[in-house]
Amino acid sequence: MFDNSKVYNQINNKYNTNFVNSYAQTNRDEDIASTFEDIMGRAYKPVGCYDVGSPIYNKVVLINKVLEDTYECVKTGGNYQWNRFIR
């Protein structure tokens, strides 16, 4: 059901990984939830996973934009847990 070759790990490079875990492939909502869970829960920036231009980086940029555009309490360009890997 899941294609683990599209899941980030230290071996796969940033250009062929689209998901932070296998479950993220379930559907779009689970992809967003898994990506948000990953950025909120990680203590460090994993090598290659959030590099500029990678599919996962682009998802985090989109999540950040949606949060900035949706919630008045989220300031554009602010320092938040969810955008620390894309700054």
Q: Where are the domains of the chain?
A: 4-83
**Average pLDDT, integer, range 15-42:** 93
Helices vs. strands in the chain: H and E counts, helices first: 2, 0
The overall pTM is greater than 0.85: yes
Q: What is the pLDDT of residue 15?
A: 62
Binned at pLDDT 50, 70 and 90, residue 12 comes out as: low
pLDDT digits (tens, 9 = 90+) for 36-64: 999 999 999 888 889 898 899 999 999 99
Looking at residue 13, its pLDDT comes to 62
**What burial class does residue 53 get, using C-beta atoms within 10 Å of its C-beta: 0-12 exposed, 13-18 middle, 19+ buried?**
exposed
pLDDT at residue 2 greater than cutoff 80: yes
